[in-house]
Amino acid sequence: MKVLSLDIGGTNTRAAIVDEEHRILKTSVLPTVRDSKEKFLDNVKKTIEGLGSLEGLKAIGGGVPGRVRKDGYVYALPNVGISDIPLAAFLSQTYGLPAHIANDAEIAALAEANLGAYKGASSLYFVTVSTGVGGALTVGGKLRETSYEVGHSVFLYDGRYIEFEKYGSGGGIVRVAKKHGLEIEGAKDLFALYRKGDNLAAEVLEDWVKLLASFFNMVQKDYEPEVFALTGGVTKSSDCFLERLKELTPGTDIRLCSFKEEAGLQGGAVLAFQNIQG
C-alpha cells in the first residue's frame, strides 16, 4: 500500500510517495508560490505531477504552516500570503483520493510519535520554537484536540500579560535582550555572546529560559505528556539552555526531536495511513 504525502512550507512545496514501511520511494520539490491562491494550488498540482505515475495510491496526507479545519480547509497561510484554501477538497477532486490536511506542527508530532525515537511513549507533546512557537499533542500515536497556536497563550511577564511567543520564541529573544539593554539581531547572536562568557547575555538567557519553562510547566499541568519532543531553530544552540530548562521543569521529560527534514513528509504519510485504517 502506498500514499501521497505533502509537506508545504513557506519556502518549498514537497511531495512524496511513501509505502507502508514508511520508505520514501520518490520525491518532488518546487518553490512554494506565494500571494495567489489559484497559482498556489496549481503549483501544488505541478509538484505532485513531478512524481510521475500515481497508480496504486490509496490516500493523500499533508501539512501546511497555518490554521486548518478538520475537513482540510485551510483558513490562512500567513507565510504564503493567502487564505481560505479548500486544499483537501481540491486534492480529492483532482486525484480521486481521500485527502487529509493538518497543521505542520501536528504533522511533525505524528512523525515523532509513530516513527521517531520516542514512538514507545504513551503520549507525546511536540514543541517547535523558532520564529514562532507551535505545539501538538498525540496520545497513542494519534492527534488529540489541542491548539497548535499555543504560541498565543497568555503569560504574565515583566509585570504585564503577553502572548508567549512574543518573548518566548526564537524571535522573541531579541525583545528579551532589548529589555535588558542588549541589542542583537537574532537569537544566534545571544548564544554566541553567551558562549564567550558575556555576563549580560547570560542574564538575558536566564530570563528567556524561565519564560520558556513556564510554557512547558503549563502544558505539563494541562496534558501530562510522557515525553516532550522539542525542535526548531533554537535547538541548534540547545547546549546553551536545555539542561537549565530541565532544571526549571521538574516532572517533565524534555528531549530533542529525532526527525529533521523528513518530519513533514513522514508525518503526512502517517496521517494518510491512519485515515485509511480508520
Domain locations in the chain as residue ranges: 2-109+261-277, 120-256
Radius of gyration of the chain (CA): 19
| In contact, 134 and 164? CB cutoff 8 Å | no
The beta strands (E) that lie in 70-175 are given as 74-77, 82-85, 99-103, 123-129, 133-139, 142-143, 154-157, 160-163
The predicted pLDDT at position 147 comes to 62
The predicted pLDDT at position 131 comes to 85
The predicted pLDDT at position 46 comes to 98
Residue numbers of the chain with a pLDDT score lower than 50: none
User: pTM value?
Assistant: 0.91
Residues 6+ apart with CB under 8 A from 5: 15, 16, 17, 18, 60, 61, 62, 264, 265, 266, 268, 269, 272
The predicted pLDDT at position 60 comes to 98
The predicted pLDDT at position 278 comes to 66
| In contact, 109 and 136? CB cutoff 8 Å | yes
What kind of fold does domain 120-256 have according to CATH?
A: Nucleotidyltransferase; domain 5 (3.30.420)
**Domains 2-109+261-277 and 120-256 in one fold:** yes
Superfamily of domain 2-109+261-277, CATH level 4? ATPase, nucleotide binding domain (3.30.420.40)
The predicted pLDDT at position 152 comes to 86
φ/ψ (deg, to 5) at 225: -70, 150
Residue 159, strand partner residues: none
Q: What percent of the chain has pLDDT over 70?
A: 99
The predicted pLDDT at position 148 comes to 61
User: Is residue 125 helix, strand or coil?
Assistant: strand
